[in-house]
Amino acid sequence: MSFKHPADESKPIAAESASLQANGSLEEEWSRPAGNDPRADESRTPADPGAEPARPAKGNRLAPFVVGQGAGRKASFVLLLFLAAALLVGAVAAFNAYVDPYGTVGTGALPPVTWTDRSLKVNLIEHLKRAPGVVVLGSSRAMKVQPSLITSRTGVPAFNAAVSSGKPVDAWTFVSFIHARFPTAHSKYLWLLDIEAFRQWPIDPGLLNTPQLAAYLGTGTRLSTRLGQLPLLFSWATFWKSLQSVRRAQGQPQAALRTTLGATQFAPDGFRVLDYHDQNLAKGRGLAKELPATIRQGIATYRGDYSRLDPTAETYFQRTLALMNSLGDAPVIVLTPMQPQMLATVAPLGYDARYRDVLAYLHSLKARYRFEQLDFTHLSSFGGRAADFYDGYHMTVANTRRLVNAVLLKAPGALR
Amino acid sequence: MLFASFTFLFAFLPAVLLGWWLLPRSSWRVAFLALASYVFYGWWDWRYLPLLWAVTLSDFFFCHFIGRSTGRRRTLGLVGALVVDLGALGVFKYTGFFLSSLNGLGHLLGAGRPFPALHILLPVGISFYVFSSVSCTIDVYRGRQRPPRSLLHFAAFVAMFPRLLAGPIARYGELGPQLERPEARFTWQMAGSGLWFLACGMVKKLFIADVLAPHVNSLFAHNAQLGVASAWVAALGYTMQLYFDFSGYSDMAVGVGLLMGLRLPQNFNSPYKSASVSEFWRRWHMTLSFWVRDYLFISLGGSRGGRWRTVRNLMITMTLAGLWHGSGWTYVLWGAIWGAYLSGHTLVRRRGAERGPDAPWLRALKRGVTFILVIVAWVPFRAPSMAVTGRVLGAMIGLNGIDSWKSLTTLVGWRLAAMLGAALVFVNAAPNSWEVRLQPRKRYALAIGLLMGASILMINHPLPFLYLQF
């Protein structure tokens, strides 16, 4: 597009403004270099040798340049600057990677400073003297299942490997890890499966940050996760955590048995002895007070994006079944119950549809995998009581005991 | 995409620099810059892009229309451009504010149904790029500027990513010639300067502003508990946070520009060293200050009509400058306070003859008074509402009483006090990033490199630049 210079045709506002400034007006003051400081005088700004004859607005100055000797020195100046920055960043990142306080790299040189129930249960498994005969898998809804009850009823040692928000990927990594830890043992599995276990959900950071478990994720998954967490290494905050790890590790055996996570306490067999539910109960916040919040949560889940079973969750589920079968076990899969009020609320919102999807899915797997299936969705199926819930999802020990007893009754040989 | 992010520093910027310096023809380089700028802007939200394109096309069209026209058609062209530009600002930035204000007024007067609340997406940086774009049209109208050579050059100017989001509000007269004839060769001198500014900006933003931010936020959140001392600390804390945040952003913008051989205008010149409120506006957000002077204050008649007309023009100019910052009554109040300050200064200053430099003690006194006025003015700028503004200002004049030692140590703490002390010394005694003359010595390179490295290690949880909200 062509243009025509309009200067001759326009109203001479520039000249008007200049004349205003020449009369000692406010415009002049607004334009005057700032302060008594003679360096502020714009005419003293060092000239830019290579610059165009610029036309800056009054008062604006162009950036000063590196002054001084020839191009060689300037080149080494820039390169040295880069080198210094890179060395500092590299040194901090290397230290962080070595200490790996969040378990993001997987070097495992020192115990992590951030514990989750996943890393804690791994730690407990590492301290088991003999392989568990029965392993409980599942989410937080299964964490009140007592391994000691199973042991007393079956005569074999049991371990509760359920973790909060446990999904099939967690089951896969725990089964793999337990097999690696006790390669010659033959454990049996009691898998408490939630309908929500097949909801699309990102892999829990607690799993990714537990190197012993993350090792069983696919290389691509692990790599993309590691890459995603790489920026954490380039950080002073991580550096302080690394120093903290080093300080803590001094004079302390590398992987001491850990049974507490904040105020939550675990038994060496993985049972969650004391948790926030118990604390709420002690403060008088029983089922009646906790139920509405979890009902809202359930409504959000089923009104949200849970419209079909997640194929990734299905893949991990089948992979876990295949592994268990290859190790000689046919697991008992128990569909977990909900508090009846909760169930009645979410059933029409999508729970019923997903429940049917899960049943159909499990049915479709029966030809390929060996497993025992028990549907304890409704309390009546195992003699549970509506009052023995902490909230809409989580059973108290009274109900989990009824559930375990029902499992042993309905699948008598499965856990022995 | 934030300047202080790994994505920008380690992926976007290196890719843009490579493309910029490797492309052989200047038109390709400018096209590449425009494209990269759109990617940078669309990274926030691609829905922002159509408005940016619309403003660019409109001003480019009107620039050429005005350039080709004479007489009334030129004025018509200018009016057309202003309608589009200010209309875009009005719709996207101020609709909600005006509707809620009308509803408030209607409620007071007992009117019936309120207007429905509209949730219009506010494109980030709209105030900055609209001002840059419209300045070109006005300059063409005034005969100060030729119309841009091509749409490509104008698009690259309006969208130029180093300054797109929060300025400096460069004019086409400053950047256009640099885009029409970009630096042909990369020079170490430019790279060194660019890295210097980048390092200064990162240190200011990540080491000072972001560290002060949680303390300041906490103090303003507890505005009802503030006593005299803690209220002043809150206001002083924000005074420092805003300066280091915004001047840090500006330094980074200048640095990124220099790495591409483009010189952006200076935006800050040690504003807290000012000895008068008028001087403050020659040092603070200079490109906005000169913009409102050239396109608003002078257009209103400037100081030609006597003292009281000057006062009127100052009040209008500064109130509109306040509204430019944000669609809220606190910003209007902030602008009005500055209008009053500048008007007061106009009325009391000695007219006519130039005075010599002040005696050191007098200048120190003036600096102190100016700084206190500046601190007070930042309160409505930071406060989320007029009620909070009133509470904090009330506390500053003692309406909430004096802090107990316990509440002072709880609310303020030694760490914040020490940081503010150091910041005060820095802004009053240290040269700013434009005043330092770099010699290419090893120890300087090491020091700057280490500072830059240390800043990079702070990037993990950066806070957005404060001026991005405007």
- Over residues A125-167, the pLDDT tens digits come to 988 988 999 999 999 999 999 999 999 999 899 999 999 989 9
What pLDDT is stored for residue B182 in this prediction?
A: 87
Contact indicator for B188, A75 with CB cutoff of 8 Å: yes
B351: left (phi over 0), alpha (psi -120 to 50) or beta: beta
Q: What is the mean pLDDT of residues B43-50?
A: 85
Contacts made by residues B66-71, CB under 8 angstroms, sequence distance 24+: B66/A6, B66/B137, B66/B140, B66/B141, B66/B147, B67/A3, B67/A4, B67/A5, B67/A6, B67/B140, B67/B146, B67/B147, B68/A3, B68/A4, B68/A6, B70/A9
Question: What are the pLDDT digits (tens) for B63-97?
Answer: 999 989 888 899 999 999 999 999 988 888 877 77
Q: What is the mean pLDDT of residues B268-281?
A: 91
pLDDT band for position B102 (cuts 50, 70, 90): confident
| Total-model pTM | 0.70
Residue B91 half-sphere exposure toward CB, CA atoms < 13 A: 7
For residue B358, give Cα distances in angstroms to A262, B182, B366, B373: 64, 43, 10, 20
What pLDDT is stored for residue A112 in this prediction?
A: 62
> Nearest CA of chain A to the CA of B225: how many Å?
31
The mean of the pLDDT values for chain A is 79
What's phi and psi for A136, nearest 5 deg? -95, 130
pLDDT band for position A225 (cuts 50, 70, 90): low
| Minimum mean pLDDT range among A38-52, A157-171, B5-19, B345-359 | A38-52
* Cβ contact, residue pair B264, A63, below 8 Å: yes
pLDDT at A331 over 90: yes
Which single residue is written with the structure tokens 């916040």? A285
Contact indicator for B454, A88 with CB cutoff of 8 Å: yes
Contact indicator for A113, A244 with CB cutoff of 8 Å: yes
The C-alpha atoms of residue B90 and residue B74 are separated, in whole angstroms, by: 23
Token pair of A252, please?
A: 């302390």
What pLDDT is stored for residue A401 in this prediction?
A: 95
The mean of the pLDDT values for chain B is 87
The C-alpha atoms of residue A410 and residue A391 are separated, in whole angstroms, by: 27
The C-alpha atoms of residue B376 and residue B392 are separated, in whole angstroms, by: 10
Closest CA to A365 of A193, A173, A201: A193
What pLDDT is stored for residue A113 in this prediction?
A: 62
CA dihedral B271, B275, B279, B282 (to 10 degrees): -20
What pLDDT is stored for residue B388 in this prediction?
A: 92
Token pair of B225, please?
A: 């508990």
When scoring B73, B174, B258, B294 by the number of chain A Cβ atoms within 10 A, the one with the most, hence best to mutate, is B294
Beta bridge partners of A333: A191, A373
> Nearest CA of chain A to the CA of B352: how many Å?
6
What pLDDT is stored for residue A42 in this prediction?
A: 34
What's phi and psi for B156, nearest 5 deg? -65, -35
Q: What is the mean pLDDT of residues A284-305?
A: 84
What pLDDT is stored for residue A72 in this prediction?
A: 67
Q: Match domain A117-204+259-410 to its CATH number in 3.40.50.1110, 3.40.50.2300, 3.50.30.30, 3.40.50.1370.
A: 3.40.50.1110
The C-alpha atoms of residue A141 and residue B189 are separated, in whole angstroms, by: 64
pLDDT band for position A111 (cuts 50, 70, 90): low
DSSP-derived secondary structure for B202-247:
HIIIIIIIHHHHHHHHHHHHTGGG--HHHHHHHHHHHHHHHHHHHH
| Minimum mean pLDDT range among A31-45, A396-410, B58-72, B265-279 | A31-45
Closest CA to B125 of B4, B207, B57, B38: B38
> Chain A residue closest to B460 (CA)?
A235
What's phi and psi for A25, nearest 5 deg? -90, 180
What pLDDT is stored for residue A404 in this prediction?
A: 94
What pLDDT is stored for residue A30 in this prediction?
A: 58
Which of these is catalytic: B153, B215, B285, B325? B325
What pLDDT is stored for residue A54 in this prediction?
A: 33
pLDDT band for position A339 (cuts 50, 70, 90): very high
| Minimum mean pLDDT range among B171-180, B248-257, B374-383 | B171-180
Is the previous residue joined to B168 through a cis bond, with omega within 30 degrees of 0?
A: yes
Question: Reduced to 3 states, what is the DSSP secondary structure of residue B464?
Answer: coil
pLDDT band for position A399 (cuts 50, 70, 90): very high
Q: What is the mean pLDDT of residues B131-148?
A: 90
pLDDT band for position A255 (cuts 50, 70, 90): low
What pLDDT is stored for residue B423 in this prediction?
A: 94
| Minimum mean pLDDT range among A216-230, A297-311, B129-143, B215-229 | A216-230
Go through B293-314 and write b for each residue having 16 or more CB atoms within 10 A of its CB, e for each that does not. Answer: bbbbbbbbebbbeeeeebbbbb
Residue of higher predicted confidence among B371 and A51: B371
What's phi and psi for A174, nearest 5 deg? -70, -45
> Nearest CA of chain B to the CA of A99: how many Å?
17
The C-alpha atoms of residue B202 and residue B196 are separated, in whole angstroms, by: 10
Residue of higher predicted confidence among A29 and B270: B270
Three-state SS string over A260-286 comes to: EECCEEECCCCCEEECHHHHHHHCCCC
For residue B335, give Cα distances in angstroms to B65, B188, B276, B380, B394: 34, 43, 17, 9, 19
Neighbours of B187 (CB within 10 A): 17
3-state percent helix, strand, coil for chain B, nearest multiple of 5: 75, 0, 25
Within 8 A of B297 by CB-CB distance, chain A residues are: 26-27, 30
For A57, the closest of B171, B191, B449 (CB atoms) is B171
How far from chain centre, in Å, is Cα A205? Answer: 2
What pLDDT is stored for residue B377 in this prediction?
A: 95
What pLDDT is stored for residue B43 in this prediction?
A: 87
Residue B82: exposed, middle, or buried by beta-carbon count in 10 A (0-12, 13-18, 19+)? middle
| Minimum mean pLDDT range among A331-335, B150-154, B167-171, B380-384 | B167-171
Give catalytic status of residue B64 as yes or no: no
**Per-range mean pLDDT, top range of A84-88, A184-188, A407-411:** A84-88
Closest CA to B235 of B379, B418, B339: B379
What pLDDT is stored for residue B223 in this prediction?
A: 86
When scoring B202, B277, B298, B343 by the number of chain A Cβ atoms within 10 A, the one with the most, hence best to mutate, is B298
Edge-to-edge strands, sheet with A134-137: A158-160, A134-137, A188-193, A332-335, A372-375
pLDDT at A10 over 50: no
Q: How many residues does chain B have?
A: 470
For B435, the closest of A39, A55, A57 (CB atoms) is A39
For residue A334, give Cα distances in angstroms to A256, A379, B206, B428: 34, 13, 52, 71
pLDDT band for position B411 (cuts 50, 70, 90): confident
Instruction: Give domain limits for chain A.
Output: 117-204+259-410
Contact indicator for B444, B438 with CB cutoff of 8 Å: yes
> Chain B residue closest to A83 (CA)?
B449
Which positions ≥6 away from B402 have C-beta within 8 Å?
A: B227, B228, B229
